[in-house]
Amino acid sequence: MKTVDFLKKGTPLEFLEVLKFYDKAIKIKSSQKKKKDGESLSKLDKWYQGELGKVAMARSPPHITKEELVRLMKWKLSRGKFRPRLVELAGSNSEELVKTASQKGIKLALKDKVKDAVKELVVLKGIGPATASGILAACVPEKCCFFADEVAHAIPCLATLKYNMEEYILLNHSLEECAQRLNKELIKGDENENAEADWTPHKVELALWTHSIIEQNKPELVAHMKLMPEEDNANRKRRKLE
């Protein structure tokens, strides 16, 4: 199943199955990058996925610091083309501006005003919609996804990217719709077993990114993901309705 089809047809259990391969996908991505000084992608990703949002949202009011912005930029670039100039630009922002901009952005995202949230964040030097989305996905994952190339390419009209606001809003809306679909499709047994695993735009994004990396680089692993053939999916949906 191609990632573009997985976005449309993947079931909640299939998405969870794919997420089991996330660490493997990170290792694959790391192996493709030239070794450089500083933190590895694996270490940066563990910090980004597991710590940044919790720490930022525990502050009153919620915000990120300049140091966190620079580290987030390093994380983003470690997954794509590394451009040191962007790290320098992120570090040239004042502590107060980073605090104020991120505070406003997070507050707006929590109110479902994602476009306005991104606008507040792109006032920071070196920060475009993609990096802004990284801040929002970490802090407000229930509303926002990260603007990852591999995920965006799962949407046909985003095959070629300009990394602008319009593209991000379209991407985020598409992943919101997918999250809503997955949550509706959860059968009662699934909900009991995975009560903590309600789907969000960010969680959908992680699964799609994993699927794309595995599909492109280790297609032989797709068979181990235990994705159901389309006919089995149809039978499963019928069982849910009985």
Q: pLDDT of 110-164, one tens digit each? A: 999 999 999 999 999 999 999 999 999 999 999 999 999 999 999 999 989 999 9
pTM score = 0.89
Q: Is residue 208 part of a domain?
A: yes
Q: Could you tell me if residue 44 is inside a domain?
A: yes
Write down the pLDDT at residue 229: 54
pLDDT in tens, 69-84: 999 999 999 998 888 8
Q: Is the peptide bond before 229 cis (omega within 30 degrees of 0)?
A: no
Q: Looking at 22-129, which runs of residues are DSSP E strands?
A: none
Q: Tens digits of per-residue pLDDT, 15-24?
A: 999 999 999 9
User: Is residue 241 included in any domain, yes or no?
Assistant: no
Residues 6+ apart with CB under 8 A from 90: 69, 70, 72, 73, 124, 125, 126, 127, 131
Residues whose CB is less than 8 angstroms from the CB of residue 40 and which lie 6 or more positions away in sequence, other chains included: 30, 78
| Structural domain for 96, as ranges | 3-236
Confidence of residue 225 (pLDDT cuts 50, 70, 90): confident
Kindly give, in sequence order, each residue whose CB lies less than 8 Å from that of residue 167, ignoring residues fewer than 6 positions away. Answer: 129, 147, 152, 158, 161
Which residues are within 8 A (CB) of 240 and not within 5 positions of it... i.e. 6 or more apart? 185, 187
Question: Which residue is it, tokens 């089991």?
Answer: 20
Q: Give residue 193's pLDDT band: very low, low, confident or very high (50, 70, 90).
A: low
Residue 151 falls inside a structural domain = yes
Which residue has tokens 């990284």?
134
pLDDT > 50? residue 231? no
Is residue 18 in some structural domain?
Answer: yes
Report yes or no on 220 lying in a domain.
Answer: yes
What pLDDT is attached to residue 220? Answer: 84
Lowest-confidence pick of 22-36, 40-54, 107-121, 217-231? 217-231
pLDDT over threshold 80, residue 179: yes
Please check whether residue 242 lies inside any domain of the structure.
no
- Name the domain count of the chain: 1
Asked whether residue 137 is assigned to any structural domain, the reply reads: yes
Residue 184: count of CB within 10 angstroms of its CB: 9
Q: What is the pLDDT of residue 228?
A: 58
